[in-house]
Structure 1
Amino acid sequence: MHTCYDNFHAGMFFEYSREKQEELIHRATRQGHAFSLETYLNYYTAENINQQYVYGRSKWTLLIAACFYRHENIVRMLMHRFKPDVDAVGNIKLDFVHDIMYSVSPLWVAVAVGHFGIVKLLVEEGNANVNHLSITRSSPLRAASYIGRLDIARYLIMHGADMKLVRDGNYTNLMLSAYRGHAHIVEYFLDKLGCDPNEFDRDGRTALHYGMDGDSIEVVRLLLKYGTKNISHNTISPLMLAALEARENLVDAFENYRCSDMEWIEAREILGATYANIESKNYNIDKAIEHITIAYKWRMEKNLPKASPSILPIEAFNYPQECQTLEEFNHILSESNTRLHIESLLIQERLLGQKNKRYRHAVRFYGTVLADANQYHASLQFWLYELNIRREHNINFDKWHLRGFVHMFSKMIKNNIDIISEKAILEILKALNDELANGSSNDHNLFTLFYLITVISHVSEEQRLSTYTIDIYRKLVIFVRANYRTKENSQHWTLLHLSMMIGLQGINDNHIISLCKYPCHKTIGLLLQCGANVDTVDSKRNTPLHLIAQRKCDTDNVLFIIDMLCNNFGAHSDCVNDQGKTPLETASNIRVKEHLRKKIGVGQLKCLCARFIQQTKVVFQNHHFPLNLVNFIEKH
């Protein structure tokens, strides 16, 4: 009946290029035009039925595309008429999953989009592999667990799906369903399949931990009902996790479920400490007092006093000890809210431990609050305490961690704080030294060191730093000079080069630049005093004098720095860069040119000789000349 139409359609199809033919085939699949697709494929090479098509971030076969767009009629036609490989894999990007899913089968895709009809068609008529695993070891059953389709999960189990197939790290389907809050799937896995609720992943987390993360009271109650234990992971049990998140309903869900009296008491203490935490979105002084008071009353009722403090008094906290009784707790409440905040930190340190990320963040945040209130000295105590915890336990810094100290120092100088803690400066110098030696974010840390040098150059005018601190600083500058250069703009600058260029667009830190005008003669002078080489060269053989001569900023400041380099530290004004130009020849400002011309004068005889050797191309690089003489000639 459709012979003429088919012939016309086929004729038109063959007029197109192969690329256009493939586009028509793929579009017909996506749009669900079964008749057009069948017509195209009748005149298309049969072996190309499993061809991969790229669409957006996805790369798939026609069968996978049909599954993705939920076209059951297309899937049926393809399977019946063209026999595609029902397990041929592809890569797809689902709207509800952040990452691309690699090497997924058509069945996995049909499950992920929740189309039961296509799932049955692939399994029953196509004999699809129900246990096929993607690159990340995700099975079709796992996809059903993710979207919460109990009907599909049951069907897959009935047709041989293996519940024991799990993601890397033993991240089970039960854990996934618990995290997603699918209580009906969780109950099916526990009640009908007999899954172990206390199985843990590579990190020691159970389904109960994941249920807590998913914030589902129904899932948590189900897991507890089926015997899940309150197992700790990195000193954090699920009950403690609920308290840390101030999820009172989840804490209450544990009532009558295998928790010891001490677990209950400590959960209330953490819950109170969480409410007393200034950074918490759940900050509530009244609730903090309520839950910590309940904990003390339970301790008295159960005769479970706190153990003797194992932590030495902390200087940053002003040396208090954690309260031991309700009377002591009521007494500190009469002092101030500040004392309650410190108490909450002491509770967290005892129960979570110093290495706990939440505790460390709470300490640093409280220091930030103090800094915002211009209580800089107290703030530094908290930050340094957190810094020392990291160093003691070998916990990595992010690259902005140490920079934050330098920002605070600059604020203190701008706010006319008389004394900046020498201990703080010394600690940051040591930490920077460790980070540079370990190769951590070196370019960023070199800039941080440079900004700290600016701070020290300003501090040293106001207060006398000890010989020990200056010695540590000098050694660090020499260490950096010997081992590191920034790679900014591929110039491979030393700290001294950087001091000439800082403040240009793209090379600055607004917190520090507001402290002084760059280029900063104080910073440059301190660098040179501590061993920086005044004639060092970058990858283009520019000396610091070359770079400062090219600056178009405040001319008086530039001239002052040129005088300092030449008069105080003996910079060679006739060194040439890789283009054979001296600083005078690279300068564009007339005043700078005149100033440099006076510096050169008639020139020293040895410099003139060196320049003559270079210009006349006399061969001098051989073993008859000492290295220092060769280096001197090459500069000219």
Structure 2
Amino acid sequence: MPRAARVHVLPASPPSALPSGKQSTRSATPGEQRCARDYSSHHPPPVPLHPARRHFVPRRSLRWRPGPGGEGPAALRAGGSRRPPPVPRRAGAAPPLPAHGLEAAPGAMDLRTAVYNAARDGKLKLLQKLLGSRSREELEALTAGPGGGGGPGAGSTPLLIAARHGHLEVVEYLLDHCGARVEEGGSVSFDGETIEGAPPLWAASAAGHLGVVRSLLDHGASVNQTTLTNSTPLRAACFDGHLEIVRYLVGERGADLEVANRHGHTCLMISCYKGHREIARYLLEKGADVNRRSVKGNTALHDCAESGSLEILQLLLRSKARMEKDGYGMTPLLAASVTGHTNIVEYLIQGGLQQDEAAGGQSGTCASGGSHQRGCSEEGCEGCGASASSQDEVPNVFCTREAAVEALELLGATFVDKKRDLLGAHKYWRRAMELRCEGGKYLPKPEPRQLVLAYDYSRERILGPSHPDTSYYIRYRGAVYADSGNFERCINLWKYALDMQQGNLEPLSPMTASSFLSFAELYSYVLQDRSKGTLATHLGFSDLIGVLSKGVREVERALVHGKDPVADSAQFTKTLAIILHLVFLLEKVECTPEQEHQKRQTIYRLLKCSPRAKNGFTLLHMAVDKDTTTVGRYPVGKFPSLHVVNLLLECGADPDSRDYDNNTPLHVAARNNCPLIMSALMEAGAHMDATNAFKQTAYELLDEKLLTKSTMQPFNYITLQCLAARALDKHKIPYKGFIPEELEAFIELH
């Protein structure tokens, strides 16, 4: 589990089993996003479906769960990846020498490697032999991070790696005799995850080396120094349950309990999520804020409910923790239902219903979070805080009948989707139904706004359409149908989920992009197998054009909402690439003249937005680039694609458009060695002699080894006007102000 920042994207969902191992992605729910070494996630067990079929179950990337470092994966994920630790030859090998000091010395790289590895392996005598006779400047170079001064995230150092592995004698030697910087941060690996900007004290605390922690603090390390994601050494110790280090940092060194990581997740929250009861108890005794809220609005009670620790939950309640809603409107009770922790659900429900019955069914919902409870701070809340007779007694938690019904219904849905336990789900749904009708007072249930075949409405009704779990499990249920060969039902559910995402999520959300990718992969699979005669599923023009139109709408939304294509270049590029794959698939479907017109109208809408991908690529640049082929883990369309290029040109794409390096689509096609596409571009008016920022023409970029130059006749497309423009540029003849403005742009093209 990652030690890093909980990224708001969803954990890996159960794999299903379609023949190419297909799996899509989705973003994380609030519960999974809180703890990977800054947050951890819940991983549902695998789906035991037919092994001969291909995976269509959406993959849930790690949710926003900060680990002690707060450096968790991003979407996952979203689509990003952590930079791996510097390991030239084997795990923990030394980073390169700094750009000063020993840079020019023979064997300097080997010396630095030897010093680093000796520190990592705790070989003090070897380290003394390597460093004993060195000058101060050389010692500084050998013990610093790459680039001399190093700096957070620049790479590892001998002191950092020695602290990570608990080599106390090596740590003290580097500090006392080599002048190593006690607070110099770098990259360090825990459980396969790289933490960036971690100081030696953080690494020693995370690994549980109390002696090293003492030594570093004695040598002047700051007890509250953080990683790049604002994770403290105290948080690192809390993550893995190092109680002695927690006591030492707080009790003897005065570490700040309330320093949260970049997601607002505190030491108490991570202790609760990881189930470290004694650490949670100690932090509460030292005054940790039990009702502190993270950026997403969750409290320690939410983390406790998600982890399933009933003892810690009772401890928090005794400390006057309030049952509040998080940013998604979820109470700890619902959080326990979503994660399937029946012990937490039963405890909160039974205590609440007993109190409700004693009060004659009059208990209500307080404004602080959906249920009265001891310690509620709401003014005028008469029911809260009156049911505990002593400090050691766990207070009763007030829970309304409606809240209990919803928790049981949601728990049943969890048993179906996560545990695949239909009997268990039936048991909880039956209890919910009986409770809803109890005492002849029926609790009304709102009707769904839209009836979707084979869709359980409970999760959407209780969690709301904006909750990540809602759309994810609709997609998951559709994927199960796809695994069983019922593609039409899958497509209907996925369309419903996509509409929900576009109506509730911000543009370019990784979850929405994941849905588009799932459609592209599914459609590719269906069209491929139907052409072989192995599938009877009908996939028509309306299916493809509907998703393509929604993709164009996503681009329009992003531009209207002021999304910065540069700042969001990776996600924007991925979205455009998926759209091009849908266009590629659409070309495989027969169309009537009216449908052909509708297709071109949709593509024209997209071109009119003038979207720019990474490096300033237009859609035409992407259509002639082989890198566009890879959008997920499985192939959909193949690029460069002549069919897509011709369609874009017919719909008005500019054949002479430029990227940030002044490359035209013709330059990109030349690099990809596509003579047929180059001919199509030149027939559409592209200039073969147009130069890029490096004064190269497309013809000059063609691969001579593949002899494609022999098939090209560039002079057939070069006019006298082109030659004149190049002559002006070559001989630096001034022309601005002497010729019409429209001709100036033409000359600049060359």
For the criterion TM > 0.5, the same-fold answer is yes
Structure-2 separation of matches of 1:610 and 1:74: 72
Q: Which amino acid aligns with 2:509?
A: F
Match of 1:392, as an amino acid? G
State the distance in 1 between where 2:464 and 2:474 align.
12
What is the rounded CA distance, in whole Å, between the counterparts of 1:549 and 1:201 in structure 2? 49
Q: Residue 200 of structure 1: SS of its match in structure 2?
A: coil
| Residues in 2 aligned to 1:458 and 1:390: alpha-carbon distance in whole angstroms | 28
**Aligned residue identity for 2:573:** D
Q: Is residue 258 of structure 1 aligned with residue 397 of structure 2? A: yes
- By relative contact order (CA 8 Å, sep 6+), the higher-ranking structure is 2
Which residue, out of 262, 266, 272, partners 2:412?
A: 272
Cα distance in 1, alignment partners of residues 295 and 331 from structure 2: 16
Give the distance between the partners of 1:143 and 1:35, measured in 2 at CA.
31
The structure 2 residue matched to 1:380, chosen from 474, 491, 498, is 491
Residue 288 of structure 1 pairs with residue 393 of structure 2: no
- Structure 2 matches for 1:19-34, cutoff 5 A? 31=122
Aligned position for 1:389:
500
Which is greater in Rg? 1
Map of 1:240 onto structure 2? 334
CA deviation profile, 1:105-150 (whole Å, cap 9, x unmatched): 76x7765554566777888xx5978955445666665555444344
Distance change (3 Å), C-alpha of 1:221 and 1:445? same
Counterpart CA distance in 2 for 1:565 and 1:34 is 68
The answer on 1:148 being equivalent to 2:241 is yes
Q: Name the CA distance, whole Å, in 1 between partners of 2:343 and 2:331.
A: 16
Corresponding letter in the other structure for 2:553: K
Q: Which residue of 2 aligns with 1:454?
A: 584
Q: Where do 1:98-497 residues align within 5 Å? A: 98-100=193-195, 102=197, 104=199, 114=208, 132-134=224-226, 142=235, 144-151=237-244, 153-154=246-247, 159=252, 161=254, 164-168=257-261, 171-190=265-284, 192-193=285-286, 195-233=288-326, 234-254=328-348, 255-256=350-351, 257-260=396-399, 261-277=401-417, 280=418, 282-301=419-438, 305-309=442-446, 311-314=448-451, 317-318=452-453, 338=454, 342-343=455-456, 346-373=457-484, 375-395=486-506, 396-398=508-510, 399-414=513-528, 415=530, 417-421=539-543, 422-435=545-558, 438=563, 439=565, 440=568, 441-459=571-589, 461-462=591-592, 464-465=594-595, 470-480=600-610, 484=612, 487=615, 494-496=618-620
Q: Is the 8 A contact 2:516 2:578 kept in 1?
A: yes
The alpha-carbon deviation at position 242 of structure 1 amounts to 1.7
Q: Is 1:576 matched up with 2:689?
A: yes
CA distance in 2, matches of 1:200, 1:517: 48
Question: Which has a greater percent of helix?
Answer: 1
Work out the CA distance in 1 between the residues paired with 2:214 and 2:165. Answer: 15
Gap change, CA 1:91 and 1:364, over 3 Å in 2: same
Give how far 1:616 is off.
7.0
Q: 1:120 and 1:304, CA in 2 relative to 1: closer, same or farther beyond 3 A?
A: farther
1:608-627 matches, within 5 Å, as 609-610=720-721, 613=724, 621=735, 623=737, 625-627=739-741
Against the structure 1 CA distance between its residues 22 and 297, is the aligned structure 2 distance closer, same or farther, given a 3 Å change threshold? closer
Residue 359 of structure 2 corresponds to: none
Structure 1 counterpart of 2:346, one-letter code: D
Unaligned runs of 5+ in 1: 1-16, 319-337
- 1:555-577: per-residue Cα shift (whole Å, max 9, x none)? xxx49x95x778xxx64698534
Distance 1:90 1:610, change over 3 A: closer
* Separation of aligned partners in 1, 2:415 and 2:663: 59
Structure 2 counterpart of 1:527, one-letter code = L
Contact 1:474 1:530 in 2 (8 A): yes
**Shift in Å, 1:363:** 1.5
Q: What is the TM-score when the length of structure 1 is the normalising length?
A: 0.68
1:287 counterpart letter in structure 2: G
- Tell me the CA shift for residue 357 of structure 1: 0.5
Cα displacement (A) at 1:513? 7.6
Structure 1 residues 466 and 186: CA distance shift in structure 2, 3 A: same
User: Would the aligned equivalents of 2:268 and 2:283 in 1 still touch at CA under 8 Å?
Assistant: yes
Alignment-derived partner of residue 653 in structure 2: 532
CA 1:71/1:548 → structure 2, altered by over 3 Å: closer, same or farther?
closer
Question: Residues 586, 112 of structure 1: CA spacing in aligned structure 2 closer, same or farther, 3 A cutoff?
Answer: closer
Q: Distance in 1 between matches of 2:443 and 2:593?
A: 46
SS at match of 2:437: helix
SS in 1 for 2:259: coil
Contact 2:144–2:180, Cα closer than 8 Å, also in 1: no
Using structure 2 for the length normalisation, give the TM-score. Answer: 0.59
TM-fit CA distance, 1:31: 4.2
Q: CA separation of 1:67/1:389 partners in 2, compared to 1, >3 Å: closer, same or farther?
A: closer
The answer on whether the counterparts of 1:545 and 1:565 sit within 8 Å (CA) in structure 2 is: no
> 1:510 and 1:83 mapped to 2: Cα distance?
52
How far apart, in 1, do the equivalents of 2:595 and 2:483 lie?
A: 26
Q: Is the 8 A contact 1:446 1:486 kept in 2?
A: no
User: Amino acid of the residue matched to residue 447 of structure 1?
Assistant: A
Q: In structure 2, how many angstroms separate the alpha carbons of the residues matched to 1:94 and 1:534?
A: 48
Change (3 A) 1:583 1:213: same
Q: Report the alpha carbon displacement of residue 587 of structure 1 after superposing the two structures with TM.
A: 10
**Aligned equivalents of 2:269 and 2:653: distance in 1?**
58
Q: Deviations over 1:270-312 (max 9, x none)?
A: 11011222xx2x1121111111111111222255534352652
Matched to 1:385, the amino acid is Y
Contact 2:112 2:142 in 1 (8 A): no
Mapped contact 2:183–2:221 kept (Cα < 8 A): no
Relative to structure 1, is the Cα distance of residues 119 and 470 closer, same or farther in structure 2, using a 3 angstrom cutoff?
closer
For 2:397, give the aligned amino acid.
R
User: Compared with structure 1, are the counterparts of its residues 21 and 381 closer, same or farther at alpha carbon in structure 2 (3 Å cutoff)?
Assistant: closer
Q: Aligned partners of 1:74, 1:581: CA distance in 2, in Å? A: 57
Query: How far 1:246 sits from its partner (Å)?
Result: 1.6
Task: Give, as a single letter, the amino acid of the residue that structure 1 aligns with 2:460.
Answer: E
Q: Are residues 114 and 293 of structure 1, via their aligned partners in 2, closer, same or farther at CA, if it must alter by over 3 Å?
A: same
Q: Measure how far apart 1:236 and its partner are.
A: 1.6
**In angstroms, what is the RMSD of aligned CA positions?**
5.6
Q: Is the 8 A contact 2:516 2:551 kept in 1?
A: yes
Distance (whole Å) between structure 2 residues aligned to residue 219 and residue 96 of structure 1: 26
SS in 2 for 1:461: coil
Q: How many residues align?
A: 559
Task: Indicate conservation of the 8 Å contact 1:496/1:532, yes or no.
Answer: yes
SS of aligned partner of 1:258: coil
By how many angstroms is 1:455 displaced? 3.5
- Alignment check: 8 A CA contact 1:178 1:219 kept: yes
CA distance in 1, matches of 2:585, 2:450: 31
Q: Output the CA distance in 2 between the equivalents of 1:377 and 1:535.
A: 42
Q: What pairs up with 1:491-570 in 2 under 5 angstroms?
A: 494-496=618-620, 498-499=622-623, 501=624, 504=626, 507=629, 519-521=641-643, 523-533=644-654, 547=669, 558=676
Alpha-carbon deviations, 1:346-376, whole Å to 9, x = none? 1111110100001111122223334445544
* Distance change (3 Å), C-alpha of 1:511 and 1:520: farther
Structure 2: gaps (5+ residues)? 1-105, 147-154, 352-395, 531-537
| CA displacement at 1:426 relative to structure 2 | 2.6
Contact 1:30 1:69 in 2 (8 A): no
1:331 is aligned to none
Indicate the SS of the match to 1:276: helix
